[in-house]
Structure 1
Amino acid sequence: MSNRRQRRAIKSEINIIPFLDVLLVLLLIFMATAPIISQSVQVNLPDSNDSQTVSNQDQKPVILEVADKGNYTLSIDGIRHEQLTSEMVTQMAKTVFDKNPQQLFLVGGEKTVPYEEVINALNLLHSAGIKSVGLMTNPL
């Protein structure tokens, strides 16, 4: 009778296979949600601690300002050209770039302007043949 009544000892160790299954499922969930989380981060781009002042003694930079959707201002040699369309910006930038391929171009956008509009301004300069463009920020 004592053989029948013998109980098996309780195992106090964890089962590895179910534990690994749970870990792999959690890993898949984190891998699937990580890109979604990183795309929804709100950032305040216009301010920068590491802003560098552009100093060219020989020439003033050409500044393309984005104030609103489709509202561009181009400053060439200190002369502001306001209320420009995208075609006018491309044409004027190409003219300046053809005269001086070393000309420095900067793009600045107000804080309230959607980031898409700043990208559109960069695309306008790219379509004019300008490959190197700086972004303007306010130093803190």
Structure 2
Amino acid sequence: MAFGGFNQGGGQAPMSEINMVPLIDVMLVLLIVFMITAPLLTHGVKIDLPAASSDPNVEKPETVTLAMDGEGKLFWNDQPLADADLAVRLADAAAATPQPELHLRADRETRYQKIAEVMSAAREAGVQKMGFITVPAR
């Protein structure tokens, strides 16, 4: 097939293929340029920084354990607690800085209603962190 000729016949359609050779040549030239210039871009400046050592001052907030037995009695850090004093203790714990974590321990026989009431009272008092303590299965 000839690309150009002296034949002026109108029987041939225009060529609709893209010539890829010039594009490949440009791509190879750019690849070589980038391969040469890339190591030059990693040049670093050597400076002598001062050395300082410090341990982070992390304060671990205390934890408050609120236990409930099967009869619905409450225990604040293993000390008996009356139901009327619960709101005051929770408000004091919520006002402390940093705020302690509230760990709830409930007996297997504890009614869910009692657990829900204690959780609701803790949220109303402003306790942010609350978790459950369970005994792992053996």
TM-score using structure 2 length: 0.50
Structure with the higher fraction of residues in strand conformation: 1
Larger Rg: 2
Specify which structure has the bigger relative contact order, considering alpha-carbon pairs within 8 angstroms and separated by 6 or more residues. 1
